[in-house]
Amino acid sequence: MAAPCRLISRLAVVSGGGSGIGRAVCQRFASEGASVVVADRNEESAHKTLELLSRNYRGQEHVALEVDVSLKESVGRLVNAIQSHYFQPPSICVSAAGITQDEFLLKMEEEDFDRVIQVNLKGTFLLTQAVSSALVAAGISKGSIITVGSIVGKVGNVGQINYSASKAGVEGLTRTAAKELSKYGIRCNCILPGFIASPMTENLPEKVMSKVSPLILMGRMGKPAEVADVCAFLASDDSQYITGVSIEVAGGLFIG
């Protein structure tokens, strides 16, 4: 079935767009008519996503830009570059850049805790702030900010003290942003993926997966495209009365 075309004439930026969920989001947005800025610290993978978009979705102009979301100057450069190129800020912003540095609480090094918070939580803050400031300054009274938390931000996960804290923070950040930005017409929502097959999860130990799999009602890991489906809904006017919520895309993981 062909994707609907709900994002025609919209400009979107997707951090982490070079891989996994972010790449799938870029593809889905482009398939719905958006122009997409693929933003990633990994220039090579960002350009691979761009190639896919340019080959399959030619009607719009897409670009790939390098960014380190944990650095304010880098995020500022990204948003300036987007505005110089398109003469407008993006009205859709997805913060999908993320990392893991797993270790048990009793062994976690301070720098591994800090790094995960810097990328996952502070990175989401910096991009959300930069894009929403640009929208407000440009007088654009319509925007959709989509953040990517995780189911483990709600329930915790052994070996992920830093990651689960960062993702719980992303949910709180999103709800607060929704409260502050609704008066500017900007909606903010958070996606909570469960276990999604991507480079981030490809090296999960078998003993972890064998414990988790029976807890997934749908009986399998999710696909990045299934997360992208929900992002496209949240980016589009089909969700125009939805803000400040978190949506689990987890196949029923941990509900029982």
Residue positions annotated with a catalytic role: 163
Residues 6+ apart with CB under 8 A from 216: 194, 195, 250, 251, 252, 253
As given in the structure block, the two tokens for residue 47 are 């350009």
Q: Does 45 bind ligand NAP (CB under 6 A)?
A: yes
Q: Considering CB under 6 A, how many residues would be counted as binding ligand NAP?
A: 31
Q: What is residue 124's three-state secondary structure?
A: helix
Structure tokens at 53: 């978009």
Residue 22 engages ligand NAP in binding (rule: CB under 6 A):
yes
57 is an interface residue for ligand NAP by CB under 6 A: no
To the nearest whole angstrom, how small is the minimum distance from the Cβ of residue 89 to ligand NAP?
19
Q: Which residue has the tokens 């990651």?
A: 163
Residues 116-135 that bind ligand NAP (CB under 6 A): 119-120, 123
40 part of the interface to ligand NAP, by CB under 6 A: yes
Q: Whose structure tokens read 């400031």?
A: 133
* Interaction of residue 99 with ligand NAP, rule CB under 6 A: yes
CB of 18 to ligand NAP, least distance (A): 4
| 153 near ligand NAP, judged by CB under 6 A | no
Sheet holding 63-66, edge to edge: 63-66, 35-40, 11-15, 92-95, 143-148, 186-193, 246-249
Q: Are 75 and 125 in contact (CB under 8 A)?
A: no
For the record, the structure tokens of 238 come out as: 């089909």
State the maximum Cα–Cα separation within the chain, in Å, rounded to a whole number. 53
User: Which of the stretches 26-34, 36-44, 81-89, 132-140 binds ligand NAP when contact is defined by CB under 6 A?
Assistant: 36-44
Neighbours of 67 (CB within 10 A): 28
| 15 part of the interface to ligand NAP, by CB under 6 A | yes
- Closer by beta carbon to ligand NAP, 113 or else 195: 195
Near ligand NAP by CB under 6 A: residue from 42, 83, 157, 246:
42
Could you say whether residue 171 binds ligand NAP (CB under 6 A)? no
Please report, as ranges, the residues that interact with ligand NAP according to CB under 6 A.
15-16, 18-22, 40-42, 45, 67-70, 96-99, 119-120, 123, 148, 150, 193, 195-196, 198-201
